[in-house]
Amino acid sequence: MSEITYGSYLALDELLKLQRPQSEPEHPDELLFIVVHQSSELWFKAILHDIDGLIAALEAREAGQALWRIQRVNALMRIVSAQLSSLETLPPQHFAQFRTYLGSSSGSQSVQFRAIEAASGLRDEHFMRALEEHGDVPELVQRALSRPTLQELFLELLRSSNVTLEDLYLGPGPSLLFFLAEALLEYEQQFGQWRFTHVQLVERVIGPSTGGTGGTLGSRYLLKTIDQKFFPDLWAVRGKFFGKRR
Ligand code: HEM
């Protein structure tokens, strides 16, 4: 067997050949555009892997393991958002020079992104419509949709521990389950942060009124997705400490 080297272990020969700018002559900014998308997909792969681990921990009622997994997912989400800022250096007039070479390809066709949303708990009408827009729902997404949502799994864990969501916030003091609830909420915040950073990037590069290559209204469509929630009950429980507005 040949010796494992840095290059062979990471399959760098293959990996570094996978950036294939389409513009002719090649636009100097297209490489960064591809690298940020490809690396986002690699992080999505790692996030899906850890969400699988999170689901397994919640199903096994192992709160400590679940907390560890979601904290890692949160660290990965921060990285995915941070990379978007590199594309803020893409001037609109440069993007306009190679955008036509993208054809109808669009981030809205990202199967892994949809699988993360589905595994996390989106089931609303807007989401289901977005899924069906690109033909048959891919297997990875179908698998995620067939499992309980993260919120359902977390509430089940609470039930099995004879604790309600309210107990976590009214109880004698912060417990492991309380920290897990807060870390899940942090995940929702990090995901929303990605959506917000992305929509700002979109407005910065193509403006607020330009349609997307995927056929949507562009930033006007994306702004609507910011309201989608994975953990409505975790948000709602906070309101119990405050009177209703008259
Ligand atoms: C110059 C940079 C970017 C621009 C102008 C841009 C533009 C857009 C637009 C207009 C949409 C709406 C769908 C459409 O009609 O195409 C969209 C969706 C999306 N983009 Fe980007 N994008 C950029 C960078 C990125 C990057 C780096 C990623 C990382 C993977 C990404 C991932 C996505 C995803 C996942 C969606 C679907 C969002 C949803 O439906 O909630 N985009 N993008």
Does the C-beta of 47 come closer than 6 Å to ligand 1? no
Task: Report d(CA 165, CA 224) in Å as an integer.
Answer: 28
* Distance in angstroms (rounded) separating the CA atoms of residues 67 and 181: 9
Asked whether 81 lines ligand 1 (CB < 6 A), one says no
> What residue's CA is closest to ligand 1, atom 3?
202
Q: Is 131 in the pocket of ligand 1 (CB under 6 A)?
A: no
Q: Provide CB contacts within 8 A for 176, sequence distance 6+.
A: 63, 64, 67
Domains (ranges, CATH) in the chain? 28-98+108-234 (1.20.58.480)
What pLDDT score does 246 carry? 61
91: left (phi over 0), alpha (psi -120 to 50) or beta: beta
> Angle of helix 176-206 relative to helix 232-239, nearest 10 degrees?
110
CA–centroid distance, residue 197 to ligand 1 (Å): 11
- Per-residue model confidence (pLDDT) at position 245: 67
Helix spans in the chain (H)? 6-9, 12-15, 30-59, 63-84, 92-98, 111-120, 125-132, 139-145, 150-160, 165-170, 176-206, 219-225, 232-239
Q: Which amino acid is at 97?
A: Q
Is residue 60 a contact partner of residue 174, using CB atoms and an 8 Å limit? no
Task: Output the residue whose Cα is nearest ligand 1's atom 26.
Answer: 37
pLDDT, tens digit only, all 246 positions of the chain: 789 999 999 999 999 999 999 999 999 999 999 999 999 999 999 999 999 999 999 999 999 999 999 999 999 999 999 999 999 999 999 999 999 999 999 999 999 999 999 999 999 988 998 898 888 999 999 999 999 999 999 999 999 999 999 999 987 788 999 999 999 999 999 999 999 999 999 999 999 999 999 888 999 999 999 999 999 999 999 998 887 766
| Amino acid 43: pLDDT | 98
Count Cβ atoms within 10 A of the Cβ of residue 202 and give its class: 0-12 exposed, 13-18 middle, 19 or more buried: buried
pTM of the model: 0.96
Q: How far apart are CA 119 and CA 122, in angstroms?
A: 8
User: How far apart are the C-alpha atoms of 149 and 120, rounded to whole Å?
Assistant: 6
Does the beta carbon of 200 sit less than 6 angstroms from any atom of ligand 1? no
Specify the 3-state DSSP secondary structure of 91.
Answer: coil
